[in-house]
Structure 1
Amino acid sequence: DLTSLSVWGWGGLGVVLFLITFGPFAIFYLAFYICCVVGGGFAVTLLFGKTNSERHLEKCEHSYLPATQTGILKTLDEMRLEQKPIKIDRRLTGSNYIDEPLQQVIQFALRDYIQYWYYTLSEDESFLLEIRQTVQNALVQFSTRSKEVDWQPYFTTRLVDDFATHLRVFRKAQDRLEHDCGDGEMVESFFEAEVEMERSVCRDVVCTSLKDEEGFLRDLCEVLLYLLLPPGDFHNKNMRYFLREILARGVLLPLVNQLSDPDYINQFVIWMIRDSSCNYEAFMNILKLTDKVSELEAVKDKALEELQYLRSLDTAGDDINVIKNQINSLLFVKKVCETRIQRLQSGKEVDTLKLAANLGKLCIIPLEHVLVHNIALQFFMDYMQAAGAQAELFFWLTVEGYRVTAQQQLEVMEGWQKDGKKGGSTQGLLKAAALGVYEQYLSDKKLLSYILNYFSLSSSTESFNGSPTGSINLVSPRQSLRHTSAQCSH
């Protein structure tokens, strides 16, 4: 306590003496003096730095460049602002009928997917020009490679086989739904039938999921860009991803959706048959033979609309007979539709004998023609499987394939013998193959069943095409080998 009192006492005494000596404004003077000292030091520092800078600039005075003239600067600015004319080679395939629509597609793709956001960033056209030239180069490469492909075998063989396979899968799915009394959906039944026929291929995920479809189209575009773009453009990831998204989502996906639209397909079919109008007899035969009630109802509604329109016309004049004839024709069409609808709704079966008599006799195809035709052979295999006699058909295909192969190998051996070469291993392979065929079809255990089934096969094939089995001719070596390989895979 005494210590604190002494501190306060001496402190108070010091303050009193300071105020008596320097006056009551001494505190403000002290603060002012401190500010002056700090400001003076800062000013001295600035002056010292300025002096050193001037000395340094005097040393480097010889490095100064003369100022440029204002005219040169103005010319450079005008050259930068001046837009250079863009020249684009519009040739893609060499045909104007194809190049113009392709140029329109490219222009619309740039407008809808690039220009609307790019112009908010820059007005430079070089980026758009680079993209356009890249796409055009890819199309030129695609056109060049397409011309090198032999399209005739594809359109006449592979495409037809794929379409026939698709129809078989669809019919199989329909038969399954009818057998199950309508339980289940057509889509599920179709892809189940596709798995059974294609074995290792099923496209249900790509066809039913939009996300997977877009992924498949992206992969397809990636492969196309790899084949068509130059290496420098393809390894540019930004450019590659950019073009891939434009092609997948802006070109291929809308194209697939449009080609899958039933209304577009109907309009396209109408456009194709617009020049070849249907005559009266063909139209009436279609109405009499169709089993679709909805189609008959639609034709009936159209006939009623035309009747109302014709009856509303003025009957005075020279066209009265023409109008009456049209009304009578429409009434007859309406009556045919109503009769056919009543017959279908009543559940009466169609008279197949009368129908066959109206259409004429069915075509009789010899068995030798069936065995050498790819599509006919496939249906014949299905028929033989349904009859439980497919083993005989497979036996014939195997033996024929062995015969053609052996004939070719023996011809090669003859050539080797003429040249003085040895071909002993070939004979051993042919002998082993013949022994395998014998063990598979003609062994003691299978010989009796084969003979019995042979006679049942003869009767079934006669009922199939109306000709005896003795009319079978040997097919060409290429077809026999193809059938044999198909049998082995089966």
Structure 2
Amino acid sequence: MLLTRNNLLLAAFAAFIAWGLAVQSFPVLRFIGYAFTLGAVSTVVLLAAATLLISRRPRPAPTAAQLANKPLFLTPAQWRTEAAAAKRRDQYQPLDLYTSSFVVSQAIDTLLGFALRDFVSAWYRNITTSPAFVNDIDKKIRLAIQELLARLASEDIVNVVVTKIVPIFNAHMRDFDQAERLVKGRSLNRSITESEELDLAIAAKYKDGKLHPAASLSFSDTKSIEQDHLRKLVVRILPELVSEDVLGSRAALVLVKEIIACAVLLPIVQLLKDPDTWNQVVENYGRSALQDRKTVRRMRAALDEHTASPGKARTEADFPRLGPHDSERAFERFVRAIRKAKNLSDARRFRSQVASQLKRESMVEGQDPVYLRRLEMGKRVLDQKITKLALSTGALPGTPLSGEPRKSLDSSKPQTRELTLVEIMHTASGLSYFMEFMDRQQLMTLVQFWIVVDGFRNPLEDDFGDDPIGVSTAPSWTDADRTDIARISEAYMAKAEIDVPTESKQAIRSFLVAGRKATQAQYREARMAILSTQSAVLEQLQTNHYPSFKKSDLYYKFLATDDARITSPDQGAGFDLLDIPQSLSPVKAVKPAPTQP
């Protein structure tokens, strides 16, 4: 029930009347009223006097002793310094782990970002949002990876694999084979069902039960044993990779050890020990290898069909080889095989082989002179056979067919030209022989780079990227173009054999770093850089290596193939490059040269 104002007034009036009646009845009660009134008035007077009369004295300056008891960072200057340092720590720039390739460096950065997100930030962001701790861990990991890469670069990987890893693998396979034969019989002829019990029995016989420290037959789940073994390995490796400040902090050491051993290495080990992993690897790589083999076989069949003669498939005649200590009968068979040559291509091929064999054997000290004379005689017989077949088929330039007036070679031979290096590399056999020659010089990279960029170049494009389409109407670049430029840059631009100007490298890198935001001008500059580098490589090949190739035995073999035959644009008559250099063929006139016994 709520009391209204009238009720309160009536209650106050009734209380006043009651108090007057009580005082009238008992006069002593009036002193209680006096005491209450005096106390209230005294309280109000004292509060007013304290407020008006009492003032606060100025506090003295703190002494040095008093300041020493306060934290140092609370001083204004130190506080500003610490705040600026905290901002600088938040601005973190990670180190590049592989400066030679930004693609590899970006892949490693992505992997480290995933590792920090899953193993550190997942629980640390519940403590604080400051990235200083995560950045410091990332910095320590990068320094450790750099130290690991430096240690690997200083080691001879081939020597380590041959002298340490391969013997361990061989010993393991030998011990496992012995254990398996102890269980399944010496010839592995015991019919035993494949089961977990069979695996445990073979493991018990493996090196008389002395298994790896991370494996045990007494535990069904070896995860805890594997974790302990990985922790021991990490403790042994960490002093070689991390700095002393990390090793000096027990909390940091335990944290790093647990993350590397249990969160990184253990899943990798479990993945590698799963047989299904290796089955998938073998299936994927084996399938691609078989498909590549089938593709190569189909390509070779197509090339053989393309290079075959129009009338019928070209059959390679078996050509007997002449040895240093062969008898007279063997030499007679050798000469008869030469005289049985039915077509000009086989005769030229035989001559190329004999010329290469003669040149090679003549450089051997103490070689049998009879053997060399036989090779020289076989070469002369082949020259006569080639001349005879060329006259009968009209393959020699300016040589009339049967029934036409015969003219001399000097008066009727048209102007001829040799194949250029580019034309040679555009033929299957020429490219094969030139690549083999450059492989002997250990400069195969130059030819591979030229071939790759030649497929990248447009048919009507020059060295500066100009084509009839024009820049304004040219279509914009695609992801495939960017992938091609990235692969060429990754595979060849960093090689020491290829001299790439700094401006070209910068143009390519700018285009790739820009990603999908790259402009058409950046793509054009990157493409021009690659094409100009290809032109420089071609000039280097023509100037420094093509003359030596023309003097080698591989050039002789190329001239004996059908790819060396070209058609004169003026005469329209077919001629063969075998007749162009005088040093390659002794044919001087139509009339065969007399043989020497």
Bin for the TM-score computed over the shorter chain:
0.3 to 0.5
Query: What TM-score do the two structures reach when normalised by structure 1?
Result: 0.41
Query: What TM-score do the two structures reach when normalised by structure 2?
Result: 0.34
